[in-house]
Amino acid sequence: MGITVHFEGKLKDEASFKAICSNAEAFAKEMEWPFSLISEQEVKLERTRDEEDWDYIGPVKGVEIFPHEACEPFRLEFDKDLYIQEFTKTQFAPVEIHVLLVDFLRSNLEMFESIEVIDEGEFFDTNDLELLNKHLQACDAQLEKYLEQPDKYYGPVKLENGRIVDLMEQ
Protein backbone atom coordinates (compact mmCIF):
# COMPACT_ATOMS: atom_id res chain seq x y z
CA MET A 1 0.00 0.00 0.00
CA GLY A 2 2.70 2.55 0.96
CA ILE A 3 5.01 4.77 -1.05
CA THR A 4 8.29 2.90 -1.41
CA VAL A 5 11.44 3.35 -3.46
CA HIS A 6 12.77 0.04 -4.80
CA PHE A 7 16.23 -0.20 -6.30
CA GLU A 8 18.42 -2.97 -7.58
CA GLY A 9 21.53 -3.19 -9.62
CA LYS A 10 25.22 -3.93 -9.77
CA LEU A 11 28.07 -1.55 -9.10
CA LYS A 12 30.83 -1.22 -11.70
CA ASP A 13 33.71 -2.17 -9.42
CA GLU A 14 35.23 -1.91 -5.94
CA ALA A 15 36.15 1.75 -6.55
CA SER A 16 32.44 2.47 -7.18
CA PHE A 17 31.58 0.68 -3.94
CA LYS A 18 34.03 2.81 -1.97
CA ALA A 19 32.74 5.98 -3.67
CA ILE A 20 29.05 5.29 -3.03
CA CYS A 21 29.75 4.43 0.61
CA SER A 22 31.79 7.60 1.02
CA ASN A 23 28.98 9.59 -0.62
CA ALA A 24 26.40 7.93 1.65
CA GLU A 25 28.38 8.74 4.79
CA ALA A 26 28.86 12.36 3.68
CA PHE A 27 25.15 12.60 2.82
CA ALA A 28 24.09 11.23 6.23
CA LYS A 29 26.47 13.60 8.04
CA GLU A 30 25.25 16.58 6.01
CA MET A 31 21.62 15.73 6.82
CA GLU A 32 22.59 14.95 10.44
CA TRP A 33 21.09 11.49 10.11
CA PRO A 34 22.46 8.51 12.02
CA PHE A 35 24.14 5.83 9.95
CA SER A 36 26.11 2.64 10.44
CA LEU A 37 28.49 0.61 8.35
CA ILE A 38 27.45 -2.85 7.20
CA SER A 39 30.08 -5.58 7.22
CA GLU A 40 28.99 -9.16 7.82
CA GLN A 41 30.57 -12.42 6.71
CA GLU A 42 27.47 -14.62 6.57
CA VAL A 43 24.06 -13.07 5.90
CA LYS A 44 20.92 -14.39 4.26
CA LEU A 45 19.24 -11.86 1.98
CA GLU A 46 15.78 -12.69 0.67
CA ARG A 47 15.58 -11.56 -2.92
CA THR A 48 13.30 -11.85 -5.94
CA ARG A 49 14.30 -12.26 -9.57
CA ASP A 50 11.76 -12.54 -12.39
CA GLU A 51 9.05 -12.83 -9.72
CA GLU A 52 10.79 -15.90 -8.26
CA ASP A 53 12.12 -15.91 -4.69
CA TRP A 54 15.79 -16.70 -4.23
CA ASP A 55 18.14 -16.22 -1.32
CA TYR A 56 21.68 -14.91 -1.24
CA ILE A 57 23.86 -16.30 1.52
CA GLY A 58 27.31 -14.84 2.02
CA PRO A 59 29.19 -11.67 2.90
CA VAL A 60 27.63 -8.22 2.68
CA LYS A 61 28.96 -4.70 3.07
CA GLY A 62 27.74 -1.14 2.76
CA VAL A 63 26.04 1.64 4.70
CA GLU A 64 22.67 1.92 6.44
CA ILE A 65 21.19 5.40 6.92
CA PHE A 66 18.32 6.27 9.28
CA PRO A 67 16.68 9.32 7.65
CA HIS A 68 13.65 9.76 9.93
CA GLU A 69 11.86 7.82 12.64
CA ALA A 70 8.83 7.46 10.34
CA CYS A 71 10.91 6.18 7.42
CA GLU A 72 12.44 2.78 6.89
CA PRO A 73 16.23 2.55 6.95
CA PHE A 74 17.93 3.36 3.65
CA ARG A 75 20.19 0.34 3.18
CA LEU A 76 22.98 0.32 0.66
CA GLU A 77 23.83 -3.34 1.30
CA PHE A 78 25.88 -5.06 -1.38
CA ASP A 79 26.70 -8.73 -1.77
CA LYS A 80 30.08 -10.21 -2.78
CA ASP A 81 29.32 -9.40 -6.45
CA LEU A 82 28.48 -5.75 -5.58
CA TYR A 83 24.82 -6.44 -6.32
CA ILE A 84 22.05 -4.71 -4.38
CA GLN A 85 18.31 -5.30 -4.16
CA GLU A 86 16.67 -3.01 -1.62
CA PHE A 87 13.67 -0.83 -0.85
CA THR A 88 12.81 1.99 1.54
CA LYS A 89 9.28 2.98 2.50
CA THR A 90 9.10 6.74 2.93
CA GLN A 91 5.33 7.17 3.09
CA PHE A 92 5.03 8.19 6.73
CA ALA A 93 8.00 10.58 6.80
CA PRO A 94 7.91 14.16 5.52
CA VAL A 95 7.88 14.30 1.71
CA GLU A 96 11.33 15.93 1.76
CA ILE A 97 12.82 12.63 2.98
CA HIS A 98 11.52 10.85 -0.13
CA VAL A 99 12.92 13.59 -2.37
CA LEU A 100 16.34 13.53 -0.67
CA LEU A 101 16.68 9.74 -0.95
CA VAL A 102 15.65 9.75 -4.62
CA ASP A 103 18.07 12.58 -5.31
CA PHE A 104 20.85 10.61 -3.60
CA LEU A 105 20.16 7.64 -5.87
CA ARG A 106 20.09 9.88 -8.93
CA SER A 107 23.40 11.48 -8.01
CA ASN A 108 25.07 8.08 -7.75
CA LEU A 109 23.73 6.37 -10.88
CA GLU A 110 27.13 6.55 -12.61
CA MET A 111 28.54 4.13 -10.02
CA PHE A 112 26.33 1.35 -11.34
CA GLU A 113 26.95 -1.01 -14.23
CA SER A 114 23.18 -1.49 -14.22
CA ILE A 115 20.42 -0.18 -11.96
CA GLU A 116 16.65 -0.12 -11.89
CA VAL A 117 14.78 2.28 -9.64
CA ILE A 118 11.05 1.88 -9.12
CA ASP A 119 9.57 4.79 -7.23
CA GLU A 120 5.93 4.21 -6.29
CA GLY A 121 5.58 7.98 -5.90
CA GLU A 122 6.87 8.43 -9.49
CA PHE A 123 9.25 11.18 -8.36
CA PHE A 124 12.36 9.42 -9.67
CA ASP A 125 11.02 9.41 -13.24
CA THR A 126 9.09 12.69 -13.26
CA ASN A 127 10.66 14.98 -10.65
CA ASP A 128 7.02 16.04 -10.09
CA LEU A 129 6.52 16.94 -6.43
CA GLU A 130 2.79 17.50 -6.98
CA LEU A 131 2.40 13.97 -8.36
CA LEU A 132 4.38 12.52 -5.43
CA ASN A 133 2.12 14.36 -2.98
CA LYS A 134 -0.95 13.10 -4.84
CA HIS A 135 0.26 9.49 -4.44
CA LEU A 136 0.99 10.07 -0.74
CA GLN A 137 -2.49 11.53 -0.17
CA ALA A 138 -4.14 8.61 -2.00
CA CYS A 139 -2.26 6.10 0.18
CA ASP A 140 -3.15 8.02 3.33
CA ALA A 141 -6.82 8.11 2.32
CA GLN A 142 -6.87 4.38 1.62
CA LEU A 143 -5.17 3.63 4.94
CA GLU A 144 -7.64 5.85 6.79
CA LYS A 145 -10.57 3.84 5.40
CA TYR A 146 -9.17 0.71 7.02
CA LEU A 147 -8.27 2.47 10.26
CA GLU A 148 -11.90 3.61 10.62
CA GLN A 149 -12.44 -0.01 11.72
CA PRO A 150 -10.19 -0.10 14.82
CA ASP A 151 -11.68 -3.41 15.94
CA LYS A 152 -10.31 -4.98 12.73
CA TYR A 153 -7.20 -2.99 11.75
CA TYR A 154 -4.40 -0.91 13.19
CA GLY A 155 -1.20 0.64 11.92
CA PRO A 156 1.30 1.71 10.91
CA VAL A 157 3.61 -0.57 12.89
CA LYS A 158 7.39 -0.25 12.92
CA LEU A 159 9.11 -3.62 13.24
CA GLU A 160 12.37 -4.28 15.11
CA ASN A 161 14.34 -4.28 11.85
CA GLY A 162 13.04 -0.79 11.01
CA ARG A 163 10.58 -1.94 8.34
CA ILE A 164 7.10 -0.40 8.55
CA VAL A 165 3.90 -2.37 8.06
CA ASP A 166 1.12 -0.05 6.93
CA LEU A 167 -1.76 -2.08 8.24
CA MET A 168 -2.19 -4.99 10.62
CA GLU A 169 -5.29 -7.02 11.39
CA GLN A 170 -6.39 -7.29 15.02
Tell me the per-residue pLDDT of 2-11, one tens digit each, with 9 for 90 and over.
799 999 999 9
Q: What is the DSSP string of the chain?
A: ---EEEEEEEESSHHHHHHHHHHHHHHHHHHT--EEEEEEEEEEEEEEETTEEEEEEEEEEEEEE---TTS--EEEEEETTSEEEEEEE-TTS-HHHHHHHHHHHHHTGGGEEEEEEEETTSHHHH--HHHHHHHHHHHHHHHHHHHT-TTTEE--EE-TTS-EES-EE-
Tell whether the model's pLDDT for residue 22 goes beyond 80: yes
pLDDT in tens, 93-110: 999 999 999 999 999 999
> In whole numbers, what is the pLDDT of the chain averaged over residues?
95
Mean pLDDT (whole number) for 144-165: 93
Residue 1 pLDDT more than 80? no
Is residue 49's pLDDT more than 90? Answer: no
What per-residue confidence (pLDDT) applies to 64? 98
Mean pLDDT of the region 26-37: 98
pLDDT above 70 covers what percent of the chain?
99
Q: What is the pLDDT of residue 51?
A: 82
The reported pLDDT for the residue numbered 2 is 77
